[in-house]
Amino acid sequence: MKIGILTHHKVSSHGALLQMYGLQQVLQGLGHQVVILDYERNLDFIDETTRKRFSAGLSNLSYYLRSYLVENGPGMLLYQYKKQKVLGGFRGQHFTQIPYVNSQELDAVVVGADEVFSLENGVNFMMYGHGITSRHVLSYAPSFGQTDVDRIRRFGCERLISSGLEGFTALSVRDAGSQAVIRHLLGKEAPLVCDPALLWDFGRIEKQPQKEKYIVVYSYQSNFKEEARIAAIRAYAKKKGCRLWSVGVYYKWCDRRINCTPMEMLQIFANAEAVITDTFHGTISSYIARTPVAVFVRENNNVKLGYLLKQLGYEDRQVTAVEQLESVLAAPPHFEEADRRVASLRKAGMSYLTEALQLCEE
Q: Let me know if 11 is exposed, middle or buried by CB neighbors in 10 A (0-12, 13-18, 19+).
A: middle
List of residues 6+ apart from 325 with CB closer than 8 A: 232, 233, 236, 276, 294, 319
pLDDT band at 59, cuts 50/70/90? low
Q: Rounded to whole angstroms, how far apart are CA atoms 90 and 85?
A: 9
pLDDT band at 301, cuts 50/70/90? confident
At residue 298, the pLDDT reads: 81
List of residues 6+ apart from 284 with CB closer than 8 A: 15, 18, 195, 197, 198, 308
At residue 300, the pLDDT reads: 73
At residue 120, the pLDDT reads: 87
Q: Rounded to whole angstroms, how far apart are CA atoms 125 and 130?
A: 6
At residue 64, the pLDDT reads: 55
- On average, the pLDDT of the chain sits at 92
Summarize the confidence of residues 120-127 as an average pLDDT.
92
List of residues 6+ apart from 58 with CB closer than 8 A: none
Summarize the confidence of residues 238-267 as an average pLDDT.
97
Closest CA to 11 of 72, 60, 63, 53: 53
pLDDT, tens digit, for every residue of 150-199?
Answer: 999 999 999 999 999 999 999 999 999 999 999 999 999 999 999 999 99
Among 38-47, 147-156, 204-213, the range scoring the smallest mean pLDDT is: 38-47
pLDDT at 53 over 60: no
C-alpha separations of 292 from 86, 289, 348 in Å: 27, 9, 26
At residue 244, the pLDDT reads: 98
Neighbouring C-beta atoms of residue 122, cutoff 10 Å:
16
Helices (H), the chain: 14-29, 48-54, 61-64, 71-72, 74-94, 149-154, 158-165, 176-186, 196-199, 227-239, 262-271, 280-289, 302-312, 325-330, 335-361
Sign of CA dihedral 246, 250, 252, 258: positive
At residue 47, the pLDDT reads: 65
At residue 77, the pLDDT reads: 85
C-alpha separations of 218 from 91, 306, 336 in Å: 21, 17, 24
At residue 329, the pLDDT reads: 97
Q: Rounded to whole angstroms, how far apart are CA atoms 358 and 61?
A: 48
pLDDT, tens digit, for every residue of 92-103?
Answer: 999 999 999 999
At residue 200, the pLDDT reads: 98
Summarize the confidence of residues 97-119 as an average pLDDT.
95
pLDDT at 229 over 50: yes
pLDDT at 63 over 60: no
**What is the share, in percent, of the chain residues with pLDDT greater than 90?**
83
Question: Hey, what amino acid is at 54?
Answer: F
At residue 140, the pLDDT reads: 98
- Residue ranges of domains in the chain, CATH in brackets: 2-47+95-199+344-361 (3.40.50), 55-93 (no CATH), 214-331 (3.40.50.2000)
At residue 58, the pLDDT reads: 47
pLDDT at 55 over 60: no
At residue 284, the pLDDT reads: 98
State which H helix or E strand residue 109 sits in.
Answer: strand 108-111
State which H helix or E strand residue 33 sits in.
Answer: strand 33-38
User: Residue 127 gets which letter from DSSP?
Assistant: G
At residue 76, the pLDDT reads: 87
Neighbouring C-beta atoms of residue 153, cutoff 10 Å:
10
pLDDT at 276 over 70: yes
pLDDT band at 257, cuts 50/70/90? very high
pLDDT at 52 over 60: no
Q: What is the pTM of this model?
A: 0.93
pLDDT band at 65, cuts 50/70/90? low
